[in-house]
Amino acid sequence: MKKYIPIIFIFSFLTIFQSCSSQNTVPSQAVNMMVNAQDFSFRAQRANPTNYDVINVMTSLPNAPATRILDLSGSNYSIDLKNDKLDVALPYFGRVFNPSYGNTAQNSYRFSSKDFTVNKSQNKKGNWIVKIKVNDQSTVDEITIEVFKNGKAFTSVRSNDRQPISYDGYITKNEEQKAQP
């Protein structure tokens, strides 16, 4: 019986490890097709602020985790990229150098753009780097999305009037807009 205890322990460990590592992923062919067509949505699951004032406030709250990551999974924060339109709806946590006091929606990233350029490249590992240069917004300089082969993505936003912030999430195919009769 004592011989079987280590075997049972190893088997249970491998089962738990396998269940933790199995995540919803997108096939790499679908990822390549979405990025090549420039028709995908980035869905943010976590925000990673870089401002230490925000991090200190987050860690000083009672029952707060000791990480600097904010969970966004219950919300609908996204970047929708289509060939002719870019829609951004992301929260911002950090220092804004030119805040707008009357409208708090302008303190986050919420805008639509039709004047932007997209540069995409693929690195040696097969990950896509999508750089979006927004020309008609005065606050956002560049959005960089690194898309991994399994559909997971890392996005960073560089602005003219605030500190940078990054987001973790995944990409999905854009939903088709149905015409209203």
Give dist(CA 126, CA 149) in Å, integer: 6
A 10 A CB-CB count for 155 gives 23
Give dist(CA 106, CA 100) in Å, integer: 7
Q: Is residue 181 part of a domain?
A: no
Task: Provide the whole-model pTM.
Answer: 0.75
Residue 79 in contact with residue 143, Cβ under 8 Å? yes
Domain residue limits at 92: 25-172
Q: Is residue 16 part of a domain?
A: no
Q: What is the separation of C-alpha 30 from the centre of its chain, rounded to a whole number of angstroms? A: 18
Residue 3 in this model has a pLDDT that exceeds 90: no
Q: Is residue 180 part of a domain?
A: no
Q: Is residue 10 part of a domain?
A: no
Alpha helices, DSSP H, located in 70-177: none
Q: How many residues does the chain have?
A: 181
Q: What is the pLDDT of residue 145?
A: 93
Q: What is the pLDDT of residue 126?
A: 86
Position of tokens 């088997």?
Answer: 11
Per-residue pLDDT of 45-60, as tens digits, reads: 988 877 666 666 666 6
Q: Is residue 177 part of a domain?
A: no
C-alpha distances in Å from residue 58, one per residue of 50, 72, 117: 12, 15, 36
128-134 and 116-122 beta bridge pairing: antiparallel
174: left (phi over 0), alpha (psi -120 to 50) or beta: beta
Q: Is residue 74 part of a domain?
A: yes
Mean pLDDT is lowest, of 27-41, 63-77, 104-118, 124-138, for 63-77
Q: Based on the structure, what is the number of domains in the chain?
A: 1
Q: Is residue 111 part of a domain?
A: yes
Task: Identify the CATH number of the domain in which residue 130 sits.
Answer: 2.40.128.410
Q: Is residue 1 part of a domain?
A: no
Give dist(CA 65, CA 158) in Å, integer: 27
